[in-house]
Amino acid sequence: MRAIDTRKALQELNRVSKRNGLSFERLPRKGAGSHQGIVFRAVATSETVTVVIPGHSDLSPGVQRELIRYVRGIVDRAPAAALVLEVLTVVFDQKHE
């Protein structure tokens, strides 16, 4: 993995989310300091999964890995997280291979 531009990653997450039955919303003030939230909502069930990313210009490989690790850890409690995990994996792997 390599660092990717946050703005481009958010655009790609939005596009891939829609293809997988998820709506996508960015919350600019969610989290401490310059962090921002991302809310994925399953269109069919209205279940939400929220993650927080730093507000930097790039998403580092460590942030990408932690997002995937976090979502993988909540799949048992939140079934929509499986869709979110698929989206994150597609976007982050596609950009770096």
CA dist 19 and 23 (Å) reads 9
pLDDT of residue 83: 95
Containing structural domain, residue 57:
4-94
pLDDT at 96: 42
Helix, strand, coil % over all residues of the chain, rounded to 5: 45, 25, 30
The model's pTM: 0.86
Amino acid at 46: S
Report DSSP letters for 50-75, one per residue. EEEE--SSEE-HHHHHHHHHHHHHHT
Number of independent structural domains in the chain: 1
pLDDT confidence band for 95 (50 / 70 / 90): very low
pLDDT (tens digit, 9 = 90+) per residue, 62-84? 999 999 999 999 999 999 999 99
Instruction: Give the model's pLDDT for residue 50.
Output: 95
Average pLDDT of the chain, as a whole number: 90
